[in-house]
């Protein structure tokens, strides 16, 4: 409590602005409403709409390197600890030749996070990283973002509780540290009618503050290629991603050679977006999980019905259909709705047939005119057995993490979030989520052929209640330095309550 009071007093006496830049949007998909309540800096997923700067054709050639000379080095040290609104790059090279122009930027980063829970478990995480962005003629665009670090302290607690662990980690038996790294990258070619990309990242579909019911970004990054065709108010997009199966063949077949050969597993998403005006956005699409074979060319046609293709491929893949709408009824305010469907029988749709696997999500975000305050309310309901499949390879998951709603299925959730820009460089975020969940068909790891009955009701089985509260204070106290103080409280049922505090420092140049 004393730490909170001291931190808040310091916030009252500091203020610093950050200049806005103009960027080129290379994102494949980004929800209009997302959660801004991130407990740690590295949980803030890279925003591809604000990563590459737009450059003008009349720019002059320039080379700016922080270590180029002793004079420049002294200037860089001064800029590194400045409070000015102008940001600086470790390296920035701009060149122009006739009608061709290019821009290359390199930034370095580092940080530290300390976590301590009420169960007397703690860990430290120290990391470093690098970001590279490039722009050639505002058409060929690319970036690479990498960071690597290690856990110390109670590493067993960190492995099973840290939000940063979303896939494979390195845990040597003869070392006191647990190592973790991460990489996202992309190359995009843009034209007047669309774009083509190849990259490594993760995406969320549909506005949300709790988690997407269609496709979430809580998993590890995956490699993919994507394309988008833009026809005025209408656009058609496709993403084909390479996933990691939850288990390897060496584990399944007791391969004594210990070679980790994983089954091929893929995710395909195609989407049709319609924006009749600046306030309304409607979308509809399909997503497929398939594997145990090479890339299926049938799923590279974004304008066709994948459900029909899958049926003609002998019903062996996992197909889900989704749709949604976003309506900006006021400035900085949005009403949204998402829906996803796995099975459908017209005669049984309003019954308790187990195959009625669907989820609905609706919310409203109300923001102030100056964007300093936003309040979001959201409701989510997920039927039992959604995201499950009878074939192991077709689990709706990537590297052991579910791609659907983060809490699973057979649940209802009420959540709210408040984002307050207290000063120009101070942000206060609060997120509360209450989840009630039944034990029948509530996880993607369950084979739906093991269901106890052909009929299931909402919240069937043993019911559990979970209350999760996040409180985050973010202070950009210098232009290239930031602090986060976060508290997460989790209450399971009545008795089990856990508090976890995070103190994070981040620097970027």
Q: What is the pLDDT of residue 16?
A: 34
150 in Cβ contact with 177 (< 8 Å): yes
237 in Cβ contact with 227 (< 8 Å): yes
Q: How many CB atoms lie within 10 A of CB 494?
A: 7
Distance CA 339, CA 383 (A): 12
Structure letter (DSSP) for residue 399: T
Q: What is the pLDDT of residue 266?
A: 97
Beta strand 426-437 pairing with 100-117: unpaired
CATH number of 2-508: 2.40.160.10
Beta strand 333-341 pairing with 358-367: antiparallel
Residue range 20-41, pLDDT digits in tens = 458 999 999 989 999 999 999 9
Residue range 320-335, pLDDT digits in tens = 999 999 999 998 999 9
Lowest mean pLDDT: which of 107-111, 126-130, 419-423?
419-423
Residue range 462-494, pLDDT digits in tens = 999 999 999 999 999 998 999 999 999 999 877
Distance CA 151, CA 125 (A): 5
Q: How far does CA 12 lie from the centroid of its chain?
A: 32
157 in Cβ contact with 151 (< 8 Å): no
Mean pLDDT of the region 246-255: 52
Mean pLDDT of the region 426-452: 95
Instruction: Tell me which residue of 370, 460, 462 sits closest to 420, measured CA to CA.
Output: 370
Position 311 pLDDT exceeds 70: yes
Q: Where are the alpha helices (DSSP H) in 255-349?
A: 306-312
SS3 82: coil
The two tokens of residue 454 are: 């052909």
List C-alpha distances in Å: 317 to 278, 289, 349, 445, 453. Answer: 37, 6, 22, 16, 23
Assign 118 a pLDDT band (cuts: 50, 70, 90): confident
> Which residues lie below 8 Å from residue 413, measured CB to CB, with a gap of 6+?
210, 378, 379, 380, 381, 407, 433, 434, 435, 436
The two tokens of residue 186 are: 């992309």
Q: What is the pLDDT of residue 91?
A: 94
Residue range 277-309, pLDDT digits in tens = 999 999 999 999 999 999 999 999 999 999 999
The two tokens of residue 238 are: 């496709």
Residue range 144-172, pLDDT digits in tens = 999 999 999 999 999 999 999 998 899 98
First to last CA, the chain: 32
Distance CA 277, CA 457 (A): 40
Instruction: Tell me which residue of 31, 29, 30, 106 sits closest to 63, measured CA to CA.
Output: 106
> Which residues lie below 8 Å from residue 239, measured CB to CB, with a gap of 6+?
28, 29, 203, 224, 225, 226, 267, 268, 269, 270
Strands (E), 249-332: 262-274, 280-291, 318-330
Distance CA 423, CA 505 (A): 19
**What are the domain boundaries of the chain?**
2-508
**Dihedral angle, C-alpha 299, 33, 323, 225, nearest 10 °:** -10
The two tokens of residue 126 are: 């120290």
Q: How many CB atoms lie within 10 A of CB 231?
A: 9
53 in Cβ contact with 29 (< 8 Å): no
Assign 247 a pLDDT band (cuts: 50, 70, 90): low
* Helices and strands (H and E) in the chain: how many: 5, 24
Position 45 pLDDT exceeds 80: yes
Structure letter (DSSP) for residue 394: G
Mean pLDDT of the region 362-369: 95
Instruction: Tell me which residue of 26, 49, 415 sits closest to 189, measured CA to CA.
Output: 26
Burial of 69 (0-12, 13-18, 19+ CB in 10 A): exposed
Q: Whole-model pTM?
A: 0.90
Q: What percent of the chain has pLDDT over 70?
A: 92
> Which residues lie below 8 Å from residue 454, measured CB to CB, with a gap of 6+?
353, 354
> Which residues lie below 8 Å from residue 361, measured CB to CB, with a gap of 6+?
206, 208, 212, 213, 337, 338, 339, 378, 379, 380, 381
321 in Cβ contact with 340 (< 8 Å): yes
Burial of 335 (0-12, 13-18, 19+ CB in 10 A): middle
> Which residues lie below 8 Å from residue 402, measured CB to CB, with a gap of 6+?
216, 218, 219, 387, 396, 408, 443, 444
Q: What percent of the chain has pLDDT over 90?
A: 73
């Amino acid at each position: 409590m004393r730490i909170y009071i001291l931190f808040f007093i310091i916030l009252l006496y500091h203020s610093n602005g950050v200049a806005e830049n103009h960027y080129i949007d290379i994102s494949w998909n980004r929800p209009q409403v997302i959660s801004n309540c991130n407990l740690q800096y590295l949980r803030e997923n890279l925003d591809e709409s604000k990563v590459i700067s737009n450059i003008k054709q009349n720019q002059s050639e320039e080379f700016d390197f922080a270590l180029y000379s002793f004079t420049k080095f002294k200037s860089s040290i001064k800029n590194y600890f400045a409070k000015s609104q102008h940001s600086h790059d470790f390296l920035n090279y701009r060149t122009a030749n006739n009608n061709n122009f290019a821009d290359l930027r390199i930034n370095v980063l580092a940080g530290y996070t300390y976590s301590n829970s009420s169960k007397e478990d703690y860990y430290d995480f120290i990391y470093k990283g690098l970001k590279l962005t490039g722009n050639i003629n505002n058409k060929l665009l690319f970036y690479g973002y990498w960071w690597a670090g290690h856990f110390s302290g109670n590493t067993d607690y960190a492995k099973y509780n840290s939000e940063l662990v979303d896939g494979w980690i390195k845990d040597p038996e003869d070392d006191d540290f647990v190592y973790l790294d991460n990489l996202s990258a992309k190359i995009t070619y843009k034209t007047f009618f669309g774009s083509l990309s190849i990259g490594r990242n993760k995406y969320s579909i549909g506005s949300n503050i709790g988690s997407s019911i269609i496709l979430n970004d809580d998993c590890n990054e995956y490699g993919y290629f994507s394309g988008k065709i833009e026809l005025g108010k209408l656009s058609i997009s496709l993403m084909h991603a390479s996933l990691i199966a939850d288990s390897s063949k060496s584990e399944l077949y007791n391969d004594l050679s210990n070679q980790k050969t994983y089954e091929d597993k893929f995710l395909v998403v195609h989407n049709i977006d319609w924006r009749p005006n600046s306030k309304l956005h409607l979308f509809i699409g399909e997503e497929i999980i398939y594997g145990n074979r090479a890339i299926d060319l049938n799923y590279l046609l974004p304008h066709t019905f994948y459900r029909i293709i899958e049926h003609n491929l002998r019903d062996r893949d996992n197909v889900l259909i989704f749709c949604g709408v976003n309506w900006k009824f006021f400035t900085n305010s949005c009403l949204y709705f998402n829906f996803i469907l796995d099975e459908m029988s017209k005669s049984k749709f309003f019954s308790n047939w187990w195959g009625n696997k669907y989820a609905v999500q609706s919310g409203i975000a109300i923001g102030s005119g100056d964007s300093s305050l936003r309040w979001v309310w959201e409701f989510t309901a997920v039927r039992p057995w959604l995201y499950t499949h009878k074939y192991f390879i077709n689990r709706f998951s990537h590297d052991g993490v579910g791609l659907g709603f983060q809490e699973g299925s057979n649940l209802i959730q009420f959540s709210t979030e408040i984002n307050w820009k207290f000063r120009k460089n101070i942000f206060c975020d609060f997120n509360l989520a209450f989840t009630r969940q039944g034990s029948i068909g509530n996880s993607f790891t369950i084979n739906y052929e093991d269901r106890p009955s052909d009929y299931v009701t909402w919240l069937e089985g043993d019911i559990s209640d979970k209350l999760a509260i996040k409180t985050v204070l973010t202070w950009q106290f210098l232009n290239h330095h930031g602090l986060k103080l976060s508290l997460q409280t989790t209450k399971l049922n009545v008795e089990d309550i856990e508090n976890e505090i995070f103190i994070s420092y981040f620097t970027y140049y």
